[in-house]
Amino acid sequence: MRTQVAIIGGGPAGLLLSQLLHVNGIDSVILERKTRDYVLGRIRAGVLEQGLVRLMEEAGCAGRMHAEGFSHDGALISYGSEIFRIDFAEHTGTPVLIYGQTEVTRDLYDAREKAGGKIEFEVDDVMIRDADTDRPHVQYTRNGTARRIDCEFVAGCDGFHGVSRQAIPLTVRREYEKIYPFGWLGVLSKTPPVNHELIYANSERGFALCSMRNDHLSRYYIQCSLSDSPADWTDEAFWEELKRRIPKAQADTLVTGPSIEKSIAPLRSFVTEPMRWGRLFLCGDAAHIVPPTGAKGLNTAASDVHYLYNALREYYRDGSEAGINAYSKRALARVWKAERFSWWFSSLLHRYPDQSAFDLKMQLAELEFLRANRAAQQAMAENYVGLPY
């Protein structure tokens, strides 16, 4: 097979890139290790920055998102029995859109299918070859048969556990990582959300988040121990613990019900540099991970896709390599700011096992400063709705 851009990974980053390239007349093939249903079975965050909304519009995939998504102008932060609101509209003039990553992914798969896009599912043994030459190729197997794609560029969109990052030699690659000493236990339930906006809760029992997908579907999280497994948590135990971590007024009105999904995710900050090696470009979780506090994972993948698709468009339209040469630097400049925000917002809201009495006072002072200070709120709001790209 021949194509212009071989894309490893059919998650949101790979799909969005493929669709945007298609709209601009550039051919690509996606190689995905799992099935479409498997990819769509993953429950991830559901807060979209305007940058991603615009990219979905450019990709011609924004119809259902605009019809079914909810625009949010603010979010609440609670600590103990206190609660305050950060007004995104007032501080930035920009809302965020509540629309699940699963739905974004579904819309992109539908668009790729409609356009006759090539996606190879259930591939194994993907290997990127000759990325440091003008003629890279990708080898893989499907149903036990060896295959090969010759291409001009390779986009590594294969997530944190993918192979693309490993194709960059260790002499060139540098990785930065922070592991957090707790996880998030998440529950999806067919219940009305406890509040019309998200609530991020710092409590002495640990962090909690009240989020949603729509008026009848809620998503809640509580900070948990890394040794916990979802089976350790009955629905009743989950709801009881959530109620103890949010202010009484919300706990009293929380509607509970059976969970339809329950999972535990570890928290990690991770960045690999550079994001380009020869004709291989890393995009999304393949290059960086943020803790979920602030929902920057998908949004940061989207800004990478923006830089990469514009770079490839310039290359094919004008013969210019300027965008390609600038890709890693441009993408990383924004990635590190999303890393900083996610790390800061996580530090503000979680209980850390080694926190001293002094550390707790610092956390409280930070919360009270944010509550009272317009400049601090503005900085938070600008980061939350998404820094420009």
Taking the least distance from each CB to ligand APR, the nearer of 3 and 250 is: 3
From the list 320, 321, 332, the residue with the least C-alpha distance to 278 is: 321
Is 72 one of the catalytic residues?
A: yes
Which class for 118: exposed (0-12), middle (13-18), buried (19 or more C-beta within 10 A)? middle
Tokens of 291: 């803790």
Name which of residues 97 to 136 contact ligand APR (CB under 6 A): 101, 123, 126
CB of 270 to ligand APR, least distance (A): 11
- Quick one: which segment of 91-99, 155-163, 252-260, 380-388 binds ligand APR (CB under 6 A)? 155-163
Tokens of 374: 């317009």
CB of 8 to ligand PHB, least distance (A): 26
CB of 239 to ligand PHB, least distance (A): 17
Taking the least distance from each CB to ligand PHB, the nearer of 49 and 241 is: 49
Tokens of 179: 């592991």
Question: Burial code of 62-74, b = ≥16 C-beta within 10 A, e = fewer?
Answer: beebeeebbebbb
Asked if 123 contacts 146 with a C-beta cutoff of 8 angstroms, the reply is: no
Of the residues 46, 186, 297, 323, which one makes contact with ligand APR according to CB under 6 A:
297
Of the residues 128, 295, 302, 367, which one makes contact with ligand PHB according to CB under 6 A:
295
Of the residues 34, 106, 337, 371, which one makes contact with ligand APR according to CB under 6 A:
34
Asked if 107 contacts 64 with a C-beta cutoff of 8 angstroms, the reply is: yes
CB of 28 to ligand APR, least distance (A): 14
Active-site option among 99, 309, 327, 384: 384
Taking the least distance from each CB to ligand PHB, the nearer of 152 and 339 is: 339
Q: Select the residue whose beta carbon is closest to ligand APR and give its number.
A: 11
The verdict on 219 binding ligand APR (CB under 6 A) reads no
CB of 301 to ligand APR, least distance (A): 4
The verdict on 275 binding ligand PHB (CB under 6 A) reads no
Helices (H), the chain: 12-23, 36-40, 50-58, 63-68, 88-92, 101-114, 235-245, 248-253, 297-318, 322-349, 357-372, 374-385
Count the neighbouring beta carbons within 10 Å of the beta carbon of residue 367.
19
Of the residues 26, 29, 45, 282, which one makes contact with ligand PHB according to CB under 6 A:
45
Is 220 one of the catalytic residues?
A: no
CA distance 101 to 21: 20
Q: How far is CA 161 from CA 64, 200, 383, 388, in A?
A: 30, 29, 27, 28
% helix / strand / coil in the chain, to the nearest 5?
Answer: 40, 30, 30
Is 200 one of the catalytic residues?
A: yes
For ligand PHB, what does the binding mask look like between residues 180 and 219, x meaning CB under 6 A? ------------------x----------x-x-------x
Q: Report the catalytic residues.
A: 72, 200, 292, 296, 384
